[in-house]
């Protein structure tokens, strides 16, 4: 009976939800966008061109590993138990991870599952991998080094290195391991960094061959000029190789950067970022400089590994602002055999120093280099970009070595947008599919950073409307992309809007609200400082003009043409059109219609309507004009309080529609405005002379609490009664739209016929509604879907307002549930944490979040061969260790051949049988087995050449000695004959 009465009261004769059964309201956990928790580690694979991001455990869930490729390609690797990932590294088309519980895990990137895992007895401090090795070298805090066999998924029993520094100095306490690094060209050497110094270990000799101990003598300033009256031993924090392996650098906690000739165990230069020779006594008293610790360092090189430089985060004087990263360009390394100590010290002072600026108030905690193609030299050969992890938890991408910011738009996966930098506001709009397919941005952009992976097959649902996410970043950039419906995304590109350039300032820009028109794609943005900007799709007339935007005088309460502020790199996209400086406090609500009208509401209780055709402001009014003056009397006259003053009221929800109001005989364009105090104000937009329009107040309906959602629908069909070009054109033909408005507040749903009817309502049971919308279940009907503060979603029938179903949404962050959005297709966009958003489809079958079907590994991409020692190094006595030798040295003589070697041998046999034997013409496409064979042949050939050369040298020497003897004998005979002749003649 109540449903029947509500239908009569609301003016809807048909049951628009009659075909929707309760079992149809079973939400699917469809997708995630963003990063679930704080980022803890990064990794990049140059061969497959993939990016891995590891996160830490928090109140928002366990740590995860996100692996991103090109476009929307991704995999999410989830551990079996809650943990924090401390390190991730790519090796051999697999991913190796170390977590806070000291578990070493191997992941299959195509399936997203674990291949194997082992909990290590001890605290893991560092791991090192190599693409050409089947080993992970694990450094423990107690100084021991273990080897994990990637082929056998177990620890090697034949390899365990002790704490060499503790053996060298048994009386020293608390010697812990800090870092590990394989020699970049000779895998037979391992650089072990301890807290007290660095050690070079030789696999071939099975012993530590060099010890590098840095001490600051009395009188020397050291890194921080503290305690100069005695000898100091700063704690080591990093140890790394020169790209050619000729030198070693150690970093210490006092900010010192020490360069070593590790063969001689001699310091070449000790310096900081600002001072040189800090290890040498200085008679002059210098002012104490306290430097921040160096948090990360990479020794980079070009294609020529001898042309190198140092990229450093941290190490700046304490209190320096703004913070930056430092790149020291060292240039080409002097020839070691002919260089003097002075020339080497001069070399390590660097040719140039370059500061790479960072956002204000943040410092780089660690960073990741993006090489062009080589996975060797510690991932630092010929890099093109830097991805830095800031202390704030955000990411920033910069060019290398110039340090110019790189926008992640169409470079990285949309999930990274949530931390690049943090997202401050998210809006969701429905856009018609043909309109979205035409919105493909054309912008000057460098080569893609991520090129790996391939998108998996997805159904082609071909929804007529695409769900478009608009995300406002902390740097005033807005990025727009299609969230998809778990279907194939035809236009996977992202759009970008730069509000800083549009407003011609870079400070004090906070975006408070956004909206996009469903048919035209026009976009409107409101800020906290009271500006409203309208963007329109089209060609950029100012493309390529890099000069600074011309100054435009302020125009309070007026409209200004700002089309000249388009981005110079944008050829076609969303260009700024009009700036409205409302100057009435923060913008609280904006709505742009499909027929050229924009409505704007501000926190100081002001409402404006703009006609974009002219453009012109066609209506302005304060909210006080619509407040009903209620006269109240008191028995105690003269006693008044401040609470008697009317509370502030401002617009929070605005919608446009086309329908017949009250007793009108015609339909008109309507604007519905919902306020924070529960009023729904209806305006009629009427045509005037000369193509102009006027606005007329139609009525006000009062509710008891804040308006959450306004949904104008057709009473007969339930379809949205929105203002479109077709519906407005029908008004000229006398078409009438029988419409109602479904209004949802925090405490009730009401269906009424505007502008003054009360309609039918239903109150919620002791719970507040955070978001709601009228949603369509295709071919079944319409219902009101709401998301509530108790982390549930509920569906109500129209017009009976009977509860159809209720489902829990445990993934929603209850503290951010007011930022939830419900779309007309029945999708819920809700925040699960500070930097992650869930997409939930209410008309589903109860499916949990599914793994991505994308393919991450391209098996045709072969890893290039590892750089080896030069001929000169080999001749001078450096012992060459091949990967095969290392397998024997680490795994023992009884270790069977690895799967990679067996596969390479089997492939070689197949090539022989098929008549395709022979090495590849391109060395970069060479397989691992072919590489081993070639290395052995080259080494044998060099030995033969060397032997032939020595034999030739011996023959030449003998021939030269014979010629000398013959010459001397001839001279003797001549001397004797001349003497005899002189006596007789």
Cα(671)–Cα(592) distance, rounded to whole angstroms?
11
Q: Is the pLDDT of residue 237 over 80?
A: yes
pLDDT of residue 281: 86
Q: Which of 131-145, 269-283, 399-413 has the lowest mean pLDDT?
A: 269-283
The pLDDT tens digits for 435-452 are 999 999 999 988 899 999
d(CA 925, CA 918): 13
pLDDT at residue 709 greater than cutoff 60: yes
Assess whether pLDDT exceeds 90 at residue 789: yes
Supply the pLDDT for residue 861.
92
> What average pLDDT does this structure show over 842-863?
93
- pLDDT over threshold 60, residue 983: no
Mean pLDDT confidence for 328-348: 93
Which pLDDT score, from 0 to 100, does residue 564 have? 92
- C-alpha–C-alpha distance, residues 671 and 704, integer Å: 21
The token pair that represents 742 in the structure block = 């479904």
Q: Is the pLDDT of residue 945 over 80?
A: no
CA distance 956 to 971: 23
Residues 60-70: pLDDT tens digits?
Answer: 999 999 999 99
Which residues, in sequence order, are CB contacts of 763 under 8 Å at separation 6+? 747, 748
Per residue, what are the HEC states of 534-586? Answer: EEEEEECCCCCCCCCCCCCCCCCCCEEECHHHCCCCEEEEEEEEEEEECCCCC
Average pLDDT on 702-711 reads 94
At residue 287 the predicted structure's pLDDT band, cuts being 50, 70 and 90, is low
Question: Distance between CA atoms of 649 and 164, rounded to whole angstroms?
Answer: 73
**Mean per-residue pLDDT for 475-501?**
94
The pLDDT assigned to 878 comes to: 67
759 close to 742: Cβ distance less than 8 angstroms: no
Q: Is the pLDDT of residue 189 over 70?
A: yes
The residue with greater pLDDT, 627 or 153, is 153
Q: Is the pLDDT of residue 225 over 80?
A: no
Q: Dihedrals φ, ψ of 940, to 5°?
A: -60, -40
pLDDT score at 282: 78
Say what the alpha-carbon torsion angle 150, 154, 158, 159 is, to the nearest 10 degrees: 60
For residues 16 and 781, the answer to whether their CB atoms sit within 8 Å is yes
Percentage of residues of the chain with pLDDT beyond 70: 87
Higher pLDDT pick, 557 / 286? 557
Tell me what the mean pLDDT of segment 936-963 comes to: 53
For the cut 90, the answer to whether the pLDDT of residue 733 exceeds it is no
Residue 474's SS3 state is: coil
Please report the pLDDT score of residue 869 as a whole number. 74
**pLDDT tens track for 776-785:** 998 899 999 9
Give the pLDDT score at 732: 85
With 0-12 CB in 10 A as exposed, 13-18 as middle and 19+ as buried, what is 964? exposed
Q: Which of 760, 752, 756 is nearest to 628 (CA)?
A: 756
89 compared with 506, residue with greater pLDDT: 89
Is the pLDDT score of 952 beyond 80? no
Q: Residue range 791-816: average pLDDT?
A: 94
pLDDT (mean) for 263-289: 82
Provide the 3-class DSSP secondary structure of residue 661: coil
**HEC sequence for 174-205:** CCCEEEEEECCCCCCEEEEEECCCEEEEECCC
**Radius of gyration for the chain, computed over Cα atoms and rounded to the nearest angstrom:** 37
Q: Is residue 726 classed as helix, strand or coil in its secondary structure?
A: helix
pLDDT of residue 876: 59
Rounded Cα distance between 562 and 555, Å, is 12
pLDDT at 866 over 50: yes
What is the tens place of the pLDDT at every residue in 71-81? Answer: 999 999 999 99
Per-residue pLDDT, 973: 64
**pLDDT computed for residue 14 by the predictor:** 87
CA dist., res. 208 & res. 827, Å (int):
62
Q: Is the pLDDT of residue 120 over 50?
A: yes
pLDDT above 50 for 632: no
User: CB neighbours (10 Å) of residue 776?
Assistant: 21
Q: What is the pLDDT of residue 953?
A: 47
pLDDT band at 734 (very low <50, low <70, confident <90, very high): confident
Whether 916 shows a pLDDT value over 50: the answer reads: no
pLDDT of amino acid 601: 97
User: How many Å apart are CA 291 and CA 271, to the nearest integer?
Assistant: 12
Q: What is the pLDDT of residues 526-558, one digit of tens each?
A: 999 999 999 999 999 999 887 777 788 899 999
Confidence band of 319 (pLDDT split at 50, 70, 90): confident
**Residue 918: predicted pLDDT:** 39
Question: Which pLDDT value is given to residue 230?
Answer: 82
907-935: average pLDDT: 53
pLDDT band at 317 (very low <50, low <70, confident <90, very high): confident
Range 13-27 average pLDDT: 92
The pLDDT-based confidence of 984 (bands split at 50, 70, 90) is: very low
């Amino acid at each position: 009976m109540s449903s029947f009465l509500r239908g009569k009261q609301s003016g809807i004769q048909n049951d628009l939800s009659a075909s929707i059964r309760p079992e149809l309201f079973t939400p699917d956990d469809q997708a995630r966008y963003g990063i679930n928790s704080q980022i803890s580690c990064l990794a990049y694979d140059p061969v497959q061109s993939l990016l891995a991001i590891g996160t830490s455990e928090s109140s928002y869930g366990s740590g995860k590993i996100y692996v991103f490729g090109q476009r929307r390609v991704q995999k999410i690797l989830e551990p079996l138990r809650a943990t924090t990932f401390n390190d991730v590294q790519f090796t051999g088309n697999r991913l190796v991870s170390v977590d806070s519980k000291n578990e070493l895990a191997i992941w299959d990137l195509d399936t997203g599952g674990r291949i194997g895992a082992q909990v290590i007895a001890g605290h893991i401090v560092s791991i090192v991998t190599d693409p050409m090795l089947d080993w992970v070298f694990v450094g423990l805090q107690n100084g021991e080094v273990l080897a994990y066999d990637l082929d056998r998924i177990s620890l090697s029993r034949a390899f365990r290195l002790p704490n060499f520094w503790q053996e060298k100095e048994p009386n020293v306490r608390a010697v812990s391991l800090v870092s590990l690094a394989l020699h970049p060209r000779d895998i037979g050497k391992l650089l072990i960094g301890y807290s007290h110094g660095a050690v070079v270990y030789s696999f071939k000799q099975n012993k530590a061959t060099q010890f590098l101990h840095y001490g600051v003598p009395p009188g020397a300033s050291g890194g921080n000029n503290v305690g100069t009256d005695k000898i100091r031993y700063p704690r080591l924090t990093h140890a790394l190789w020169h790209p050619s392996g000729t030198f070693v650098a150690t970093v210490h906690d006092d900010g010192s950067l020490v360069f070593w000739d590790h063969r001689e165990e001699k310091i070449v230069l000790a310096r900081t970022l600002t001072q040189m020779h800090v290890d040498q006594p200085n008679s002059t008293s210098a002012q104490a400089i306290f430097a921040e610790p160096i948090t990360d360092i990479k020794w980079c090189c070009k294609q020529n590994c001898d042309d190198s430089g140092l990229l450093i985060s941290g190490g700046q004087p304490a209190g320096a602002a703004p913070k930056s990263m430092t790149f020291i360009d060292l240039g080409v390394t002097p020839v070691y055999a002919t260089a003097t100590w002075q020339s080497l010290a001069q070399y390590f002072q660097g040719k140039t120093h370059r500061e790479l600026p960072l956002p204000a108030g943040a410092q780089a905690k660690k960073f990741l280099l993006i090489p062009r193609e080589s996975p060797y030299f510690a991932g630092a050969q010929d890099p093109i970009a830097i991805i830095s992890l800031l202390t704030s938890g955000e990411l920033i991408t910069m060019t290398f070595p110039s340090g110019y910011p790189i926008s992640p738009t169409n470079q990285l996966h949309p999930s990274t947008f949530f931390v690049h930098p943090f997202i401050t506001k998210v809006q969701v709009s429905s856009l018609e599919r043909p309109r979205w397919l035409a919105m493909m941005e054309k912008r000057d952009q460098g080569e893609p950073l991520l090129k790996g992976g391939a998108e998996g097959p997805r159904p082609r649902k071909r929804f007529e409307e695409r769900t478009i996410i608009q995300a406002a970043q902390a740097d005033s950039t807005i990025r727009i992309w299609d969230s998809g419906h778990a279907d194939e995304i035809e236009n996977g590109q992202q759009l970008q809007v730069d509000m800083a350039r549009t407003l011609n300032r870079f400070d004090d820009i906070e975006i408070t609200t956004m909206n996009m028109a469903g048919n035209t794609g026009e976009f409107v943005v409101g800020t906290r400082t009271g500006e409203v900007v309208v963007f329109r799709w089209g060609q950029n007339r100012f493309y390529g003009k890099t000069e600074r935007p011309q100054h435009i005088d302020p125009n309070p309460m007026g409209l200004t043409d700002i089309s000249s502020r388009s981005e110079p790199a944008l050829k076609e996209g969303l260009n700024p059109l009009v700036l409205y400086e409302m100057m009435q406090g923060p913008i609280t609500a904006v709505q742009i219609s499909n027929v050229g009208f924009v409505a704007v509401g501000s926190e100081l209780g002001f409402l404006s309507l703009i006609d974009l055709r002219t453009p012109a402001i066609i209506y302005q009014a304060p909210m006080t004009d619509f407040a009903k003056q209620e006269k109240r009397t008191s028995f105690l006259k003269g006693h008044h309080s401040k609470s008697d003053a009317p509370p502030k009221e401002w617009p929070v929800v605005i919608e446009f529609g086309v329908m017949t109001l009250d007793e009108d005989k015609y339909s008109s364009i309507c604007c519905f405005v919902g306020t924070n105090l529960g009023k729904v104000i209806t305006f009629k937009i009427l045509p005037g002379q000369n193509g102009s329009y006027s606005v007329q107040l139609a009525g006000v309906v009062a509710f008891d609490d804040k308006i959450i959602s306004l949904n104008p629908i057709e009473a007969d069909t339930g379809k949205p009664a929105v203002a479109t070009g077709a519906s407005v054109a029908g008004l000229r033909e006398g078409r009438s739209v029988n419409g109602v408005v479904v209004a949802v507040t925090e405490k009730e749903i009401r269906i009424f016929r505007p502008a003054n009817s009360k309609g039918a309502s239903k109150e919620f049971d002791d719970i507040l509604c955070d978001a709601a919308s009228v949603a369509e279940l295709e071919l079944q009907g319409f219902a009101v879907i709401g998301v509530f503060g108790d982390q549930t979603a509920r569906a109500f029938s129209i017009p009976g307002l009977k509860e159809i179903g209720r489902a829990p949404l445990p993934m929603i962050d209850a503290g951010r549930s007011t930022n939830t959005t419900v779309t007309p297709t029945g999708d819920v966009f809700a925040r699960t944490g500070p930097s992650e958003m869930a997409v939930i489809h209410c008309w589903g079958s109860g499916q949990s979040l599914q793994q991505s079907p994308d393919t991450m590994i391209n098996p045709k991409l072969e890893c290039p061969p590892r750089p080896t020692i030069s001929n000169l190094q080999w001749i001078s006595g450096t012992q060459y260790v091949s990967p095969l030798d290392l397998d024997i040295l680490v795994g023992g003589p009884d270790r069977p051949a690895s799967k990679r070697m067996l596969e390479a041998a089997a492939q070689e046999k197949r090539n022989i049988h098929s008549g395709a034997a022979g090495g590849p013409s391109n060395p970069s496409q060479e397989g691992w087995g072919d590489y081993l064979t070639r290395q052995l042949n080259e080494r044998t050939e060099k030995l033969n050449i060397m032997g032939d050369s020595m034999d030739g040298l011996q023959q030449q020497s003998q021939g030269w000695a014979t010629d000398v003897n013959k010459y001397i004998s001839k001279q003797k005979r001549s001397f004797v004959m001349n003497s005899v002749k002189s006596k007789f003649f």
